Structures are given as C-alpha cells and as structure tokens.
Structure 1
C-alpha cells in the first residue's frame, strides 16, 4: 500500500507542474507575448525574443543542474530543493497577472524565472524515481508520470481554453483578462497538487549524509568527480550526447509550436485547440508507448519516435492550412510522451543508483543546454532569413544526429557497468 501511495504521489507532481508546461510555456505565454506584451505588428521579432527568453532560462538551469544534483546527493536534500524550485515557479507564474500590456521585458523576466523553477524542480523530481520504483517497474512508473502530466495539464488547459474562448461564461470581461487569470490558476494548481510528493514520498537516507551547508562545499568537489565518473561510464556519456541532440528538437517544438503557428497567420483558437488535442493524445501515447517498448525494446522505441519527429519537422515546413497544424498536433502527441518517458527510464537503467541526483543533474543539464540551441536557432534563423519555415527546418539535423549516436549506445553494457560501479 505504501509503495502504491508513493508511486501515485510521485506521479501526481507531474500532474501539478505540467500545467505550467501546457498553459504557460506551450500555450498562452507565446501567444500573449506576441500579441499583447511584445509587438504584434512584427511577429518574427517577437518569436526571436521568445526564443532568446527560453534560451536564457535553459542556460541558468543547465549551469545549476549538475552542481545542485551533487549537493542533493551529499545532503539528502532532493525534496528540499524540489520545494525551493517549485515555490519559485509558482510565485513567478502567479506574478504574470500583474504584467501590463507592452511590458515584454518584465514578462520575459518572470517567464525565465518561472521556467527555472519548473526545470530546476524536475531535476530533483526525476532523481526521486529510482527510490520510488523498482528496476522492473521503472519504465511503467516513468511513463505513468508523463501520462499523469499530460492529462492533468490537459484538464486545466481545457478549462483555461474555455475561459479564453468564452470569457462571458465565467463573468470575465475579455480574452486578455482570461489569459491572465489562467496564469493564476496554474500557480494554484501547481501548489496544491505538489503537496502529496512532500508528504508521502520518502527520500532514501544516506548513511554518510552531511548538513546542507557542508553539502555545498562537498557538492562542488563531487561535481568535479562526476566528470571522471561519466568518462569511465562510457555508455552513459554516449547516451547523454545523443539525448542532448534529439531532445533539443523535442523541446523546441514544445516551446515554439504555437509561436510558429502564430507567425504563419493561423487563428489563435486553432493554435490553442491543437495544443489541447496534443495533451490528451499524449496521455494515451505515453501509456501506449510503455507497452510498445515492452514489445520491441526501449532503445528501438526511442529510435522510432526520433524518426517520427523528423517527418513531423519536414511536414511542418510545408504546412499552410489550419488542418495541417491540427494533424501535426495529433502526430506530436503520439510520440512526445513516449520519447521523454523512455529516455528517462533508459537513463535510470545505466547510472549508479546511489548517485541518481548527481547523474540526473547532468541529464537535465544536457537537456536544457539543448533547449538553449533549439529556440535560439529557430528564432534567429527565422529572423535572418525572414521566414520561420527555415527556422523550423533547421532543427532537423539535431534529430538525425541524435538518432546516429543513440544507435551506438549499448544498454546491456551500460547496465553491467553501472552495477560494477556500485560494487567497486
């Protein structure tokens, strides 16, 4: 019973913070940023500004991630840091309510800090996975977390979309006020549904744990050691490089799709509806992909998803009608949760469990450094060329590179090396 409660509570945090990923990051913030806070007459420049904001947030998290992971391992402080970053995200998201029209710099600042809270918290959320799930259950539990995130974020986003499209039903004066209220609802949702993970998920206690202030000093030393660990665990290093490449394209599509569609002139209601469709398709896609991985293996399943994203990117370059955007939203939903969940569970298999936060710090660091390149590349190339279509096409090479290096990862060898590391 305690194991089931722990798994459910862990997965519920994905339900909680995914509201930020859907309503804020992927949905209303890009739309509102382009049309309300920035310059609606120059959508290409607005996309560039948004790409830069995503890149700045990713740089901050990427630089902090491995160090914080090392500190958390030494001080048994995973849940403490999770609370700190979640609190930052909740506070900054709620603060978007106060940003007036035209104040794009202030909006970008709150968005960057909110994204740091969201992404930083995920480092410690991910690092709790090995203590929650047994080796046999890790694929299922990882997929369950993403599935809960898609359905939870989708439910709130559905309400937010209805508020935006039919503000009169809620007694809201206009769509702009509805979007601002949506940001507040995300902050409340995130805070309330985060409570179970702090109450019911137990963090494994270290025998040699030290006080937090000493953990910072020791964490820096441990961070330096991690480079040598990864060098000796060559399979881990190779997988991280492959992940760095292909997850860049995934994150870029998640963060920039609505902004890209807006720059092509698609109606706001179509863009938001497409994103909502993606959420609910991704719920079933995440669970279905867990079954798919059991049939053909984790690594081949990720390869299939990468190939699918290559095709989606190419089709995105050519799309020119609203139904094209809706169709691609369905395709993205089928593979988005699967590639994220299985990448996390594959990584869990090949790292030493006693250093999970430290290694997940590097996992998230590379993922966020990738998210620096993608949005910046898409926004900048689109601005220079004067065509966002060229911007979206530029991320194709990252999927191809990721697939190539993933094909060279030997999972069995990685599992053996991780267990040998524990024995040494």
Structure 2
C-alpha cells in the first residue's frame, strides 16, 4: 500500500502538475521556470544521494527501517499539502518546501525497498516486487481519474487552479501510508556497534562492507549499469511533463498521456513479475531498455516530423511499458542480490545510485536542451539506455544470488561492525 501512497508525490508533484505550477505560476518566465524546476529536482536528488547510504546503514544497525519509513512519509505528506498555498514569486519558499518533501520521499523509497529481502525469497523476489510496483500504478490511475475530473469535468485547466490537487496529493500520501503505520513489522534486530555515536557506527558499517566488496562484485557491476540507464529513466520521470508541454500538449492531453502511461506501466509491471523469476533478471531488464531506446529516439524524431496524434498515444504506450517494467525488475534484482541483514544498507546504496544518476541526468538534460535543443538531449538519453544495456552483460545473476544466499546463511557481518 505504501507504493500506492507515494504515487501521489511521484505522479502529481514530480511528473504532472507541480512542474507546470512552478514554470507557470511560481516563476513568471517560462524559460526561467523550466530551469528552476530542473535545478529543484537535481538538488533534491543530490541530497538523497548524500543521505541514503548513511541512513540505510543506520537503519540496519538499529533496526529502524520501519520507523524511518513512517517518519519520512509523514514529513513528505505534510509538506506536500503546503505546496498548494504557494503564490507567484515565492520561488525560495517553494524550493525549500519541495526540497524537504522530495528528500523525504526519496529516502522513504529506499526504506520501503529494504523490506523486500525480508518478505521474499530469491525464487519469488520478482513477483513480490511487481505486486508493489503494480499497486503504484493502480494508485496512479485513480489519481489521474480524479485529476481528469477536476481539470476537464470541472474545467480547471489553468496551472494556477491546481492548488487543491497539490493539497490533495499530501492527503492521499498520508492516508495511504496508514496500513504501514498499523501493520508493518520489521523482522531485523539491532546490531549496535562500539562506536560513540549512531552516525559513526553507520559509517563503520559502510566501511566494513567496502572492505568486502569482492563478495558482492556482481551487485556492484549491476549498480554501475543501473547508474547509467537510471539517468535516462529519471530524466523521463522528471521531464515528461516539460517534454510534452514543448511538444504542444495542453493539460488535458498531458493527463491523457499520463493515463495511457499508467495503464501500460501497471500491466508491464505485473507481466514482468510473472516472468522475471524464470526468464531471468538481466534479460528482463534488457527487453525494457530496448523499448526505452526506441521511445527516446522516437520522441526526438517527433519534433522534426510532427506526426499525427495517434503516434503520440502509441509512443505513450511504449513509454509506459518501459517505465513499469524497468522499475520493478531493477528493484527485484537488487533484492535477489541482497542478504536480509544488509537490506537497509544495500537499498540505501540503490537509492543513492538511483537518485545520483538522476541528479546528473536531469541537470545534463536541462543543459543540453538549452544549448543544443531537446531533440539532441533525447538522443543522448537513448545513448544512456544503450550503454546501460551493454554493461548488463558483465553481471552474472547466479553468482550474485549465490553470494547473497551464502551471506544470509551465516548472517555474516564483517569484523568491526559489531554485529551480535
């Protein structure tokens, strides 16, 4: 259910409504608004990068995954509600509120993912991951339906009229996380260190893992490939509304595009969950990367040839299929390569890499678009997906699973981390 809850921030705030609200309402100049939005996005991702590994190690050390998941969710839901009260010219206030909420949401994703090794096995991790990922797109469809009613049926299509929906996004998040508050339980037990402070102990745990990096070399290789192609994925998530706006879409068309993407993404995530465990994690990811390459190049070409509307809707189906599949399959392979007692730490690294590559990718996309134009920037995005696909050939899936299984069997924590 938490996957469904945080979709209000991912969809309405990061992708659909808040970028338009910033570029059209908070900042008077559209060009400056686009730059401000990409900088806000990149800064929030950068902070998540800095905090993820330390807080992840701390969550394992103190068995705080549940507490940190709930705390970050509450912070994000409350601050998201306040976004609806922003006025024109309040960019610094918007920056601070959005930044804090986005960091809380990003860290919460890490803590949510870190429960995957506790509730799954290497044989069904793909299916379990897909259930949560599919729920997120079910939430997206409901949110899009409500947004469509508000904007189309009630004729509230101007960005300045989006304030109630921004407030609603915060309420949705808060209500949706209640099942986690009441029923989610953590199986891990604390493993305190002899360090003077919790933060020092977290750093000692990270240092101990670094000394044993050879044990997890295939996870490290996957993380390298993941960093490359996730830059492209995050560009699409954060920039799809801006890209669609530049292609001439009005708000109604953007909502229709988002509905198509949500439906196909949910179906793709569910399908990936059914086949990934048997078909193979890396092969499943490779299929979706191929779709991303095609979608990126097609969007670049669309700016030159002005295709009919049907082409855009078909392309939205391809984007949705790629988005839903790449998300759940990437999270699942990390779960398969992670022993449960290191889940917070490794998913903290996952979040750090995901957000770090996104920070670089979003900033790079904004810069290239400004200097060379959006079509060239989209061609660069296609290159990110292609290079990520090539790097996957270095990942031995069976060896990665074996390393995690052996470590889990011994519940081994390197000397110096103080596991008891």
User: Is the contact made by 1:377 and 1:394 (CA closer than 8 Å) also made in structure 2?
Assistant: no
Does 2:394 align with 1:408? Answer: yes
Residue equivalent to 1:5: none
For residues 203-242 of structure 1, what are the alpha-carbon distances to aligned partners after superposition, in whole Å with 9 as ceiling and x for unaligned? Answer: 0131645799943331121122222233432111101101
Residue equivalent to 1:257: 240
The residue correspondences of 1:18-417 to structure 2 (distance < 5 A) are: 18-40=7-29, 42-43=30-31, 45-167=32-154, 175-176=158-159, 178-206=161-189, 208-209=191-192, 214-294=197-277, 296-319=279-302, 320-321=306-307, 322-385=309-372, 387-417=373-403
Greater mean alpha carbon deviation, residues 264-273 or residues 409-418: 264-273
For residues 317-370 of structure 1, what are the alpha-carbon distances to aligned partners after superposition, in whole Å with 9 as ceiling and x for unaligned? Answer: 011354443222211111211111111111111122211100111011001101
The 2-side partners of 1:395 and 1:112 are apart by 25
For residues 283-326 of structure 1, what are the alpha-carbon distances to aligned partners after superposition, in whole Å with 9 as ceiling and x for unaligned? Answer: 11110122232553221110010011001000010113544432
Greater mean alpha carbon deviation, residues 134-143 or residues 22-31: 134-143
Distance 1:133 1:201, change over 3 A: farther
Number of residue pairs the alignment of both structures matches: 406
The 2-side partners of 1:212 and 1:371 are apart by 33
User: Is the contact made by 1:382 and 1:388 (CA closer than 8 Å) also made in structure 2?
Assistant: yes
The 1-side partners of 2:134 and 2:196 are apart by 37
Greater mean alpha carbon deviation, residues 367-376 or residues 176-185: 176-185
User: Is the contact made by 2:62 and 2:192 (CA closer than 8 Å) also made in structure 1?
Assistant: yes
Q: CA deviation at 1:118?
A: 1.1
User: Is the contact made by 2:59 and 2:65 (CA closer than 8 Å) also made in structure 1?
Assistant: yes
RMSD of aligned residue pairs (Cα, Å): 2.1
Distance 1:419 1:328, change over 3 A: same
The 1-side partners of 2:3 and 2:324 are apart by 12
User: Is the contact made by 2:63 and 2:190 (CA closer than 8 Å) also made in structure 1?
Assistant: no
For residues 394-415 of structure 1, what are the alpha-carbon distances to aligned partners after superposition, in whole Å with 9 as ceiling and x for unaligned? Answer: 2222112211111110011112
Residue equivalent to 1:4: none
Q: CA deviation at 1:177?
A: 5.6
Q: CA deviation at 1:143?
A: 0.2
- The gaps in structure 2 that reach 5 residues or longer are 413-420
User: Is the contact made by 1:289 and 1:338 (CA closer than 8 Å) also made in structure 2?
Assistant: yes
The 1-side partners of 2:119 and 2:184 are apart by 7
User: Is the contact made by 2:295 and 2:319 (CA closer than 8 Å) also made in structure 1?
Assistant: yes
SS at match of 1:266: coil
User: Is the contact made by 1:129 and 1:142 (CA closer than 8 Å) also made in structure 2?
Assistant: yes
TM-score normalized with structure 1 length: 0.90
User: Is the contact made by 1:226 and 1:358 (CA closer than 8 Å) also made in structure 2?
Assistant: no
Distance 1:109 1:229, change over 3 A: same
The 2-side partners of 1:293 and 1:419 are apart by 19
For residues 181-217 of structure 1, what are the alpha-carbon distances to aligned partners after superposition, in whole Å with 9 as ceiling and x for unaligned? Answer: 1111111111111011122121013164579994333
Distance 1:167 1:333, change over 3 A: same
SS at match of 1:233: helix
